[in-house]
Structure 1
């Protein structure tokens, strides 16, 4: 049974104003490109540049809409798809490849942890953490530990940590300056994914470093053979 989640943070009117502004952002260059691409005298090199820009801005707009859709699904507590037994270590490898961080070392305890979850959503959660950390210039420091019925995945973010106010808002409010040119909801959605699995995601500062720490319950072991 999917656990009942705490309500997501309320989105205030100023953020809705920014949402409309951000969604219009990709439209202006797309409209300009559409106009220019109709010209018969357009230089071939310029045409290729415009087509590349159309692809980039279309992809950005699609990501924004996916982000908004996930936020709505999380608010309605219907974020998860089919669940299965999966290994967080394997999902972390998938997320590292998707984030362009393949080969980054992970400090593991050697245990084979298994969780009962939606592998697509859990990979999305890990991608959000890695993309946020990877945007700081240096690769993050990663660890994976299991015990006491839970698995803990920690991403230590390079660079100076946020101040107290920024830390408090990091997983509770949309980011004013998104790290990925998105809508600033990805970390909030990541936390909703963790909570939908009966776990949680927290942001803490230790040793003068921001740590994004995700904990998930381990799957129940199969019943012993009789």
Structure 2
């Protein structure tokens, strides 16, 4: 990861990790009120649940960053059916489901890798949102090129530029829409590299970023 400085990154990390604590502390304080109604109690428990999940996601991101820097992202390798992986990813992205198109014959592609990490990679790309107020479905096309699988993802982004996408692939997002640490694309790029592939991007017009994922396909499923 390329960051402005170690101190700036640690300051940012400390600030972000404190974020969920204030609503959690407030909820715990209010839950001590013996006169609290059932509906209010349920709302406060919901606040606690959301903030705990948010904090857990931040910790997972930071842990993944450490694993990536140590080359320990992959635990195992197995054959992965690409079409089933995409269908599962779309099902998990119900709020803003992506539009995924397979080139002729690409539905039969299989890739080898750590299923958990590859699923994390596809979730990060197909669910990518770069705006809090205007979520737009990612549009992706998957093709086979010889012994490679290639996926191009078009992502809506105001003020898209090559400089911006280069930064997002190497540094934390300054204002992540999902209230996480903003390391999603940094970790996604590391997962691609760990699987013998690559993730890079470019601006496509003033409001679209195009991300290109390249991964090895299993020999018996590659497209000539």
Q: What TM-score do the two structures reach when normalised by structure 2?
A: 0.88
Residue of 107, 124, 129 corresponding to 2:101? 107
Q: Alpha-carbon deviations, 1:67-91, whole Å to 9, x = none?
A: 1111111111011121111122221
Match of 2:76? 82
Q: Which runs of 5+ in 1 are unaligned?
A: 1-7
Q: 1:61 to 1:207 in 2, by over 3 A?
A: same
Does 2:214 match 1:177? no
Q: 1:74 to 1:29 in 2, by over 3 A?
A: same
Match of 1:163? 161
Residue of 43, 51, 54 corresponding to 1:49? 43
Does 2:116 match 1:120? yes
Contact 1:151/1:216, CA 8 A, preserved across alignment: yes
Query: What's the Cα RMSD here?
Result: 2.0
Contact 1:19/1:183, CA 8 A, preserved across alignment: yes
Residue of 7, 28, 38 corresponding to 2:32? 38
Match of 2:142? 144
Q: Secondary structure at the match of 1:181?
A: coil
Offset at residue 159 of structure 1 (A): 4.5
Match of 2:196? 198
Q: Distance in 2 between matches of 1:89 and 1:206?
A: 26
Match of 1:213? 212
Q: Distance in 2 between matches of 1:58 and 1:133?
A: 22
Offset at residue 38 of structure 1 (A): 1.2
Q: Alpha-carbon deviations, 1:49-98, whole Å to 9, x = none?
A: 10110010011011111111111111110111211111222212211111
Q: Which runs of 5+ in 2 are unaligned?
A: none
Greater Cα offset, 199-208 or 32-41: 199-208
Q: Alpha-carbon deviations, 1:27-66, whole Å to 9, x = none?
A: 1111111111111011222111101100100110111111
Contact 1:84/1:118, CA 8 A, preserved across alignment: yes
Q: Secondary structure at the match of 2:10?
A: helix
Contact 1:93/1:102, CA 8 A, preserved across alignment: no
Greater Cα offset, 14-23 or 199-208: 199-208
Offset at residue 220 of structure 1 (A): 3.0
Q: What TM-score do the two structures reach when normalised by structure 1?
A: 0.87
Match of 2:22? 28
